[in-house]
Structure 1
Amino acid sequence: MPQPLNSKDAASFRQLVKLYEAKQHKKAVKTAEQILKKNPNHGDTLAMKALTLNAQGHTTEAFALAKTALQADMKSHICWHVYGLLYRSTKQLDEAIKAYKFALKLEPDSAQIQRDLAFLQIQMRDYAGYIESRKAMLQARPALRQNWTALAVAYHLSGDLESAEKHLKTYEDTLKTPPPRTDIEHSEAGLYRNSLLNEMGEAEKGLEHLETIYDANLDRTAVMEARAWYQLQLGQSEDAEKSYRDLVVRNNEYRPYYEGLEKAMGLDRSKSDDVAKLTELYKELLEGNDRLDAARRIPLDFLTGEQFKPAADQYLRKMLIKGVPSTFANIKALYSDPARLKTIQELVEAYTPETTAMNGDANQTNGDSKPSRLEESRLFFLAQHYNYPRSQNLEKALDYITKALEITPKSVDYNMTRARILKHKGDLAKASEIMNHARELDEKDRYINTKCAKYQLRNDENEKAIQTMSKFTRNETVGGPLGDLHDMQCMWFLTEDGEANFRQDKLSVALKRFKSIYDIFDVWQEDQFDFHHFSIRKGQIRAYVDMMHWEDRLREHPFYARAAINAIKIYVMLYDDPNLAHGNTNGVNLEGLNAADKKKALKKIKKEQERVAKEDADKRDAEKKASPPKKTGGDGEPKKEDPDPLGLTLIETKTPLDEAVKFLQPLLEFSPKTIAAQNWGFEVYVRRGKYLLALKCLIAAHSIDSQQAKLHEQLLRFSQTIHSLTEPLPPKVKQVLDANSNIIPEFSSLTNFNDAYLSKHKDCARRTQSGLSARRAIGQSPQSDIEKNLVKALDIEGITLKEALEGLELLKAWKSDTKAYVEKAKKVWPEASAFGEGSDS
């Protein structure tokens, strides 16, 4: 039974609660101890002390004290509520829900417990439980609009749109007087209800409802867009045309408004008769607005042949004479059509100072030897044009940007483009140098600063990149610039830094970076808690629902896929060669040593690791003394220093494949169309002996791209693996294999299958590499012969630098001598940094 306190101690307990809420944790603990001196078994005080200790970071001690509190008073809702809060803080949400439910049984009228339970249920996507909790909250306070809206959201997220709309309508019907126009919550709720009608497919009802809220709603753009959309869906062409014209006037650079206008007028870009009408429409829209870009650029998407050329000429001249830097970015989408690409190239190359003068370049003056603005813009455009993959000619691109730099040597854009061209030529060192020069031309520009850091990382200059980023970071925080980049969740830097360390065989640091990306996505998942209450309370319902849908597919983000694939690669490498966990072996082949020599070598390697770790710790200590770091992170919360900055503990895992699966499962669930994810899924599952899952990945990869090079090699390896099993497969697995025999080659014909593949794709470098890799995997040829053929693959016409680098990576993975390959590649790509000098792996 709850133990009563005397009036003085009861006042102290209330003070304890206030101190905890004010985050005055030391005073709170002191107050709790004073109460417990007189009442050592008071459950509520023990629970509050446990909660305070947990806030101070003493989680283990807090759980032990919370259990003691429950033993002292099992019937206290406060004790159970605190127990749930402790589980919530350690992300054991299922256990937290159980504790909250028990607390609610003891105190059914507690709004705080009910609210905490509801937030956990929506966080766990327990929609049925969330609906029940919201019903209870609505029954407790039916006059509060937030409770009606929250219940509607609960039904919406569970998929019951009709009930969601019905509850919103029910509340609106109870209003005796309409809220004032300044009521943002009412305005948002009206639009939210309308969006539900739209989602239900009730266009007619949606338009009727929209007309009732049209004049009073505060989000004018949203209601105008919705009305135009409904009118278009209902076939009210004239009204829809008028609505879209109003929207174009409101924002004349927003393309979807123009697309809606075209549909409202019944114009089809694929019909020749409609193209003339479309041309007239955009001429009309341009009248009286010479600065309008969208209406001038959009016709280039549907004009073809002789109609395209004059329109493109007019657009390009106007943009280049003005010197608009983004001209190429606006145009490059047209390059998917080779005819348009050729026309644009011919037009821009034909522009000369003479044609410039005839067409009224404002910067062209008689007797002035300085090139015109159009000539300078032309050089810049052509440099980007020939650097673009669809029209790539890097020698021409470099020539054009050099000429542009002779005119304006201090242009940041020109220097950046030159660095980008050099990067594509493979000269990463020079590209990094030029990008740094561009940064120095404008040291206050954050964009060029981050671009420079990215190029430094691509050139494996990790320390320089950190120094570059430190110009825009809070360097006094715990961990210095890198710590602040972690706090700011700067994923591009962490990913690039991880990949740079991966290239340098610093696997522990690389894995540390990729794990930090994984953790950032966990933080984003956790951050939903902040919005379950805030969004409902502030009435931002549509944004909240969008956020919930976004969170449901959070890990389909490209940054997650990139980090996950790299982490999986490292874990697979660790499984195949556990010695890699010892770090850099300085060229020592541990596999070739006997037990005694291997033990000595590992001891030496361990000492080297300890030396590097000590140097890193000494460096951080020196930085602390020079500038003592703040003990808080970017969110103001206490932040501890990372005990494993080099990732040495992370890489010493004894279960690398289990760790790989943690990255793999979200990847396969949310990015199933990423073929690299399926490739690495196969690599993990085939090593774990999960042949059905490995086959599933092969089938998925085959459905995405049946001609992918990596897939060919994996199909052969899978067939060989299945054939070499000592125990027969379970009948169901065998049945699935037989059902997919059309994509898996027979073991007896692997050699012929691979030879036929190599013969068919002899003109494709990447597929040749795959075929040679398959030869090695099935033992078809001696490795020395395969290596020679891989070097010969450099003679394939049209082989790209990227494909050549992939071949080099294969040799390194095979632990082969790369000297011959590098020497030959160097002749083809003399400027590529990767082929600077050959070395034995």
Structure 2
Amino acid sequence: MPQPLSSKDGSLFRQVTAQTGLKAADQILRKNPNHGDTQAMKALILSNQGQQEEAFTLAKVALKNDMKSHVCWHVYGLLYRADKNYDEAIKAYKFALKLEPESQSIQRDLALLQAQMRDYQGYIQSRTTMLQQRPGFRQNWTALAVANHIAGNLTEAENVLTTYEETLKTPPPRTDMEHSEAILYKNSIIAESGDLEKALEHLDAVGKNCFDVQAVMEMRADYLLRLGRKAEAEAAYTILLERNAENSNYYDALIKAKDVDENDHKALKAIYDEWAEKNPRGDSPRRIPLEFLEGEEFREAADAYLQRMLRKGVPSTFANIKNLYTNLSKLDMVQDLVEGYAAGKLESQANGSAEKQANGDTSPFEGSVLYFLAQHYNYHLSRNLGKAMEYVDKAIALSPDSVDYYMTKARIWKHYGNLAKAAETMEKARSLDDKDRYINSKAAKYQLRNDENEKALDNMSKFTRNETFGGALGDLHEMQCVWYLTEDGESYLRQKKLGLALKRFHAVYNIFDTWQEDQFDFHSFSLRKGMIRAYMDMIRWEDHLRDNPFYTRAALSAIKAYILLYDNPDLVHGPIENGSDGKEMDEAERKKALKKAKREQQRLEKAEAEKREAKKAASTKASDGETKKEDTDPLGNALLKTPEPLKQATKFLTPLLEFSPKNIDAQTLGFEVYIRRNKYLLALKCLLAAHAIDPSNPLLHAQIARFRKTLDTLSEPLPSDVSEVIASEFDSLLPKSRDIASWNDAFLDSHKDSPAHIQSALSVRQLLSGPDSRPQNEKDLLGSIDHDTTSLEDALAGLSLLDDWGSSQDTKSAYKAHAGKKWTEASVFVSQ
């Protein structure tokens, strides 16, 4: 039991709890040095001041002095929660509740953690207890309904909300926003349970009391359509279209309600024509028919649409129709039409008086046509970079100050493979409008692709405060600018500056951790504000947080960095130059290169230290007065010095395999990690998963061969149970009776027109035969450049393969020269 205090000390203790004053706590402890509750409260204050280690030490002393104090256990749980150790926090809360079952604050904290940890049954139990303690508090009813909803108990969730409504003596006023949201939330639960008839009846009964009129109309129209009440659904969607004629989903639903066959193009066109006539300025009813019209009908509609948009000078015209290019006949017709405009077939109309703008300027038609054609020929399905460059240069000649034209020219240079010119051109576009954040970000992105990290950061600094430690980079971390951190990390990875690369990828990982932690406050905030539907959307979004494409990209790159570090431990000192002849360096050359890398690393560390000192002389506080934490390892050296790089790689890999199991890149990288860690069962699991996704994947083919060769050359036999599992499962990928060489030849023969598959087969041949087969492999790899299907990316992969094989500088120079004839503008193939 808590130790008793005198009335004076008791008054001081209440000041500790109310004002969290260290002074009051110390005053009590001078008279009562072993008072557990005061020690616990002091520990909580220390924790809030960032002194987490001292707080835990004091909290343990408090528990030792008073093991049966619910205050001590509650504070202990709060400390674990602050430390993000939620499992231990829940244990402490539960122990505190045993000592003080009626404590609402402990019960609330436990419930919030159970929601955070997705302990649905525990959450239901906690919310039930809280409701029994305070049945007159609406938030407790809503919370119990939410708990049942996320646990899948839809009927019980509906019953809870209904029971609360029945307890109301007078209906809430229409101005009650919380009640309005609760009505729609209840309706969504009924619909989710599958009883659409009941959901519609409920919506018709209560919908007029809801603030979100748009949601009510959309829900009602959806229910009517799904129930087959098509005449009513048609009327409902007609009203919605009158409110917003640009929503393509409304058109799809209206067509279903009208029961129009999707192949009846005439009837479909009539519907869209009707809405186009009602909305003279609308885009959707004119654009959508292009998706289903064919032949001459498509040509006429496309001609009308393109002329309308190009005469207006709408920059997004190409973006609106490029999805049609999967149909080659439509691609050809669009190209023919716009080429005709450029050839002057409509010159008289284009230059007529009708084409004069209100302010007297000439028509934007010609520039719009040239801009469209530049984008058209730059697009991957209709690519002709020579024509694209020709048209964009003509457009720039017409309008030298157009940001859009220069941006397109930069993209063309990017597709040529000349990243330096691409970055230079995008910077030119940025300089034309230096107050536009979008073009600023684009310029920085292109500079990062060209490994101009400092220039990119300088551009980004134009839109950051640059007041705290870390300058612009520190601001980008605070702004959680994931795209920049990822691009920056990938740039450093290409440069083999692994410390900086890992620093960026870990920053992205931590941002996703922050997003996951940030939901904690919304478990109570959303209930308090009554925004339950938005809260449920957030919960479902958070459940899929780690399969977000931004996380996937950063995690894959981080794993590659750690694999590279494991394979080349000397990279801990920074990038190491290759031997002068491109061959593997001897010991003396290696030591010399290593020493040079260490000197460069020391220079960078010294420069970074000087920057930090300069920052310390300036204010370390933001404009809001908050002191910013200094980054003591800006170069990522601590991350580089990990003794177990593959274990760190697994930290990024595990969420990928759990939440993105259909991502073949995650599975193939998982194999690379596990084969190096000698975890053969997990490596095989990744191979089987990758095979299920894409059996003909070229990288998978090479990994299967490596796995067989690894098993055949083990120094010690595997345990019998492991060996049996591998033998039975791996047989489906490569039967033990099958000769690897013949299996590889069959693979090469069946994919002889695919450069990526050819490279994979050559890698396997190199693996099996070693240096003896390298001359022939190099010759075959050189020949693959001439394939019609070989892309610039394929050629770059081939150059990387020569590095893996340890080919001579002469061989790589010959490869670059041969590739340079096909990709004349690609900077990587230009002789240095």
Shorter-chain TM-score range: over 0.9
2:144·2:160 contact (CA, 8 Å) conserved in 1? yes
Note the alpha carbon deviations across 1:665-715, whole angstroms, 9 max, x for none: 110111112111111111112222222222221222122222211111111
Matches of 2:723 and 2:217, distance apart in 1: 57
For residue 326 of structure 1, the aligned residue among 316, 326, 350 is 316
Contact 1:353 1:375 in 2 (8 A): no
> Mean Cα displacement is larger for which, 732-741 or 343-352?
732-741
Q: Does 1:292 align with 2:292?
A: no
Aligned partners of 2:350 and 2:365 also within 8 Å = no
Q: Which amino acid in 1 is paired with 2:468?
A: T
Name the counterpart of 1:385.
376
Q: Deviations over 1:629-654 (max 9, x none)?
A: 3269x9x8653211111111101111
CA distance in structure 2 between the aligned counterparts of 1:727 and 1:736, rounded to whole angstroms: 12
Does structure 1 conserve the Cα–Cα contact (< 8 Å) formed by 2:77 and 2:92? Answer: yes
Q: Name the structure 2 match of 1:50.
A: 43
Q: Tell me if 1:617 matches 2:620.
A: no
Q: Tell me the equivalent position of 1:448.
A: 439
What is the match of residue 216 of structure 2? 223
Q: Distance in 2 between matches of 1:242 and 1:198?
A: 21
Identity of aligned residues (%): 56
Structure 1: distance between partners of 2:737 and 2:109: 59
- Would you say 1:666 and 2:655 are equivalent positions? yes
Corresponding residue for residue 6 of structure 1: 6
CA distance in structure 1 between the aligned counterparts of 2:644 and 2:129, rounded to whole angstroms: 46
Q: 1:13 Cα shift?
A: 2.1
Deviation at 1:375, TM superposition (A): 1.6
User: What is the TM-score with the length of structure 2 in the denominator?
Assistant: 0.95
User: Which residue of the partner structure matches residue 778 of structure 2?
Assistant: 787
Which residue number in structure 2 is paired with residue 715 of structure 1? 704
Question: Residue type matched to 1:412 in 2?
Answer: V
CA contact (8 A) 2:496 2:571 kept: no
Cα–Cα, structure 1 residues 805 and 591, in superposed 2: closer, same or farther, change >3 Å? closer
Partners of 1:421 and 1:713 in 2: how far apart? Answer: 34
Q: Does residue 1:766 correspond to 2:756, yes or no?
A: yes
| Mapped partners of 1:370, 1:48: distance in 2 | 73
**Which runs of structure 2 are paired with 1:417-566 in the superposition (5 Å)?**
417-566=408-557
The CA deviation string for residues 309-333 of structure 1, in whole angstroms up to 9 with x for no partner, is 1111111110001000000010111
Pick from 678, 682, 688 the counterpart of residue 667 of structure 2. 678
For 1:693, give the aligned amino acid.
L
CA drift at 1:762? 2.9
2:87 pairs with 1:78: no
Q: Is contact 2:687-2:704 (8 Å) kept?
A: yes
1:472-496 Cα shifts (integer Å, max 9, x gaps): 0120022110011011110000000
Partner of 1:703: 692
Q: Which residue of 2 aligns with 1:830?
A: 824
Give a deviation string over 1:61-116, Cα, whole Å, max 9, x none. Answer: 11111111111222221111111111111111111111111111122221111111
**Equivalence for 1:127:** 120
Contact map agreement 2:469 2:628 (CA 8 A) in 1: yes
Say if 2:69 and 2:99, in contact at 8 Å, map to a contact too.
yes
1:253 paired to 2:241: no
How much is the aligned-residue C-alpha RMSD, in angstroms? 2.3
Matched, 1:108 2:101: yes
| C-alpha distance after superposition, 1:295-322 (max 9, x if no partner) | 1111111111121111111111100010
Look up the match of 1:23: none
What SS does the aligned partner of 2:371 have?
helix
Aligned residues of 1:495 and 1:563 also touching (Cα < 8 A):
yes
Distance in 2, matches of 1:362 and 1:487, equals 54
Equivalent residue letter for 2:561: I
Unaligned runs of 5+ in 1: 21-27
Structure 1 contact 361–372 (Cα < 8 Å) conserved? no
Match of 2:173 among 180, 198, 219: 180
Question: 1 CA distance for matches of 2:796 and 2:621?
Answer: 44
8 Å contact 2:577–2:593 — kept in the other structure? no
Compared with structure 1, are the counterparts of its residues 209 and 730 closer, same or farther at alpha carbon in structure 2 (3 Å cutoff)?
farther
* C-alpha distance in 1 between matches for 2:117 and 2:511: 19
1:262 pairs with 238, 255, 272, which one? 255
Q: How many Å separate the matches in 1 of 2:16 and 2:548?
A: 44
Question: Does the Cα contact within 8 Å between 2:245 and 2:275 map onto a contact in 1?
Answer: no
Is the CA contact (8 Å cut-off) linking 1:189 and 1:539 kept in structure 2? yes
1:137 aligns with 2:126: no
Q: Deviations over 1:284-304 (max 9, x none)?
A: 112232101111111111111
What SS class does the counterpart of residue 619 from structure 2 fall into? coil
Q: Shift of residue 507 of structure 1? A: 1.1
Shift in Å, 1:33: 1.5
| Superposition deviation, residue 353 in structure 1 | 4.0
Describe how 1:598-617 pairs up with structure 2 within 5 A. Answer: 605-617=597-609
Contact 2:563 2:645 (C-alpha < 8 Å) held by counterparts: yes
For the 8 Å contact 2:751–2:757, the answer to whether it is kept is yes
Between 1:815-824 and 1:240-249, the stretch displaced more is: 815-824
Contact 2:575/2:597, CA 8 A, preserved across alignment: yes
CA drift at 1:597: 9.3
- Which deviates more, 746-755 or 89-98? 746-755
Moved more, 787-796 or 412-421: 787-796
Pair 1:31-2:20 in alignment: no
Distance of 1:537 and 1:428 partners within structure 2: 52
Residue 339 (structure 2) pairs with residue 345 (structure 1)? no
1:207 deviates by 0.4
On the 8 A contact 2:221/2:237 being kept in 1, the answer is: yes
Cα gap change, 1:631 to 1:44, in 2 (>3 Å): farther
Identify the residue that residue 375 of structure 1 maps to in structure 2.
366
Equivalent residue, structure 1, for 2:15:
15
Partners of 1:75 and 1:362 lie apart in 2 by 91
Q: 1:505 & 1:739 partners in 2: Cα distance?
A: 37
- For the residues of structure 2 that align with 1:555 and 1:114, how far apart are their CA atoms? 30
The one-letter code sitting in structure 1 at the alignment partner of 2:641 is E
1:610 Cα deviation after fit: 2.5
Shift of 1:410: 0.3
Question: Which stretch shifts more, 717-726 or 451-460?
Answer: 717-726
How far 1:180 sits from its partner (Å)?
A: 0.7
CA distance in structure 2 between the partners assigned to 1:397 and 1:162 by the alignment: 60
User: What whole-Å deviation, never above 9, does each CA across 1:128-167 have from its counterpart, x for those lacking one?
Assistant: 1111100010001111111111001101111111111111
Q: Secondary structure at the match of 1:837?
A: coil
Distance in 2 (alpha carbons) for counterparts of 1:39 and 1:677: 59
Distance of 1:758 and 1:422 partners within structure 2? 34
From 227, 236, 247, the equivalent of 1:234 is 227
**Equivalent pair of 2:578/2:585 in contact (CA under 8 Å):** no
Report the AA paired with residue 212 of structure 1. Answer: A
Q: 2 CA distance for matches of 1:286 and 1:797?
A: 44
| Residue 820 of structure 1: how far off its partner (Å) | 2.4
- Is this contact kept in 1: 2:127–2:140, CA < 8 A? yes
Partner in structure 2 of residue 808 of structure 1 = 799
SS state at 1:2 partner: coil
Give 3-state SS (helix, strand or coil) of 2:346's partner: helix
The TM-score with structure 1 as length reference comes to 0.94
Q: Counterpart of 1:775?
A: 765
Q: Measure the CA separation in 2 of the matches of 1:376 and 1:611.
A: 51
Deviation at 1:663, TM superposition (A): 0.8
